Amino acid sequence: MAQTAPHPDTQDPGIHPDLADLDAQLADLDRALRALGSVVVAFSGGADSAFLLAAAVRALGPDRVLAATAISDSLPAAELAAAARFAGDLGVTHLTPRTHEMDRDGYRANAGNRCYFCKAELLDVLIPLAAEHDFAAVATGTNSDDARSAFRPGIRAAAERGAATPLRDAGLTKAQVRAASRRWGLRTWDKPAAACLSSRVAYGLEISPARLARVERAEAALRSGLVRHRIPVRDLRVRDLGDRARIEVDLDRVVEVAQCEPLLAAVRASGFTAVEVDPRGFRSGSMNEALPQPARP
């Protein structure tokens, strides 16, 4: 079920220290969604797009909301299955259009602006889909934290195509999205960040289906090994540096993972000749640290 029993204390300071404006922001979100009339939600299955989907159903009803999860080589198979269950539990029609990022030279080249071409492809598929089903708008799960980042080429591509950003417009931060999701009993409230597989590949290395499949195999092998060795990890990534893989895990588990040779061997067996563990731990978007400046298409 997409819904679970709400936590008795939705003001838990462990989620966010100041939720004073949350009720007002949720009211703004509801009004904005009602004003759209009908909406296709670009639904990756992550915490932000899941919350947006649930909010849209609350505002408009399930018949005036479509969930669209793009199928491509960059989407882990496990994410699709979870997204389908969530949408089904909300009573929303779940569409799975195919996108073709690999057909875009800028995406395969994997320069610092790769996300621009990915989001452009997504919206160029979803906008005609919305028109085909007579839905008024396409909305993404961009939140207000995302908008503050100095380097988000994907947000620019979506804005150029007129995508709605209801969470950002209501001023909802990531922490507030999680707090509200917990209040509503959504199981995605504490879901770890799950960026696309291409985000694991070092800039400058060409994106290919084989490279993405190798990363997916390595992360699956690592997760299975962590369970076997009883090492609890919330966030992990296997970064593709070419022949080498770099593992990122929660900072307090770095030493334990680095000293567990079977885990390193499992990642090597996925197709890498060497494996290292990043001593700085997991960092969302760590590949961007190597960029000297934002790149433009």
The mean pLDDT of the chain is 89
**Cβ atoms of residues 28 and 170 within 8 Å:** yes
Task: Measure the CA–CA gap between 176 and 184, rounded to whole angstroms.
Answer: 12
- 32: Cα separation from own chain's centroid: 23
**Cβ atoms of residues 193 and 45 within 8 Å:** no
pLDDT confidence bin for 15, thresholds 50/70/90: very low
Listed ranges 77-81, 111-115, 140-144, 193-197; the one with the highest mean pLDDT: 140-144
| pLDDT (tens digit per residue) in 189-247 | 999 887 889 999 999 999 999 999 999 999 999 999 999 999 999 999 999 999 999 99
The per-residue pLDDT for 46 is 92
| pLDDT (tens digit per residue) in 81-98 | 999 999 999 999 999 999
Q: For residue 7, give the amino acid letter.
A: H
More confident residue, 148 or 271: 271
DSSP string, 191-214: PPP---GGGGBPTTSPP-HHHHHH
The per-residue pLDDT for 147 is 77
**What residue segments make up the domains of the chain, in order of their start?**
22-190, 197-289
**pLDDT greater than 70 at residue 33:** yes
Say which CATH topology domain 22-190 has: Rossmann fold (3.40.50)
Residue 93: count of CB within 10 angstroms of its CB: 14
Strands 274-277 and 137-139 come out as unpaired
The per-residue pLDDT for 99 is 96
**pLDDT greater than 80 at residue 18:** no
φ/ψ bin of 91: left (φ > 0), alpha (ψ from -120 to 50), beta (otherwise)? left
| pLDDT (tens digit per residue) in 148-185 | 765 688 899 999 999 999 999 999 999 999 999 999 99
pLDDT confidence bin for 292, thresholds 50/70/90: low
**pLDDT greater than 60 at residue 296:** no
Q: Does domain 197-289 have CATH number 1.10.3470?
A: no
- Please state the pTM of the whole predicted model: 0.86
What three-state secondary structure class fits 91? coil
Q: Is the dihedral of CA 151, 152, 157, 158 positive or negative?
A: negative
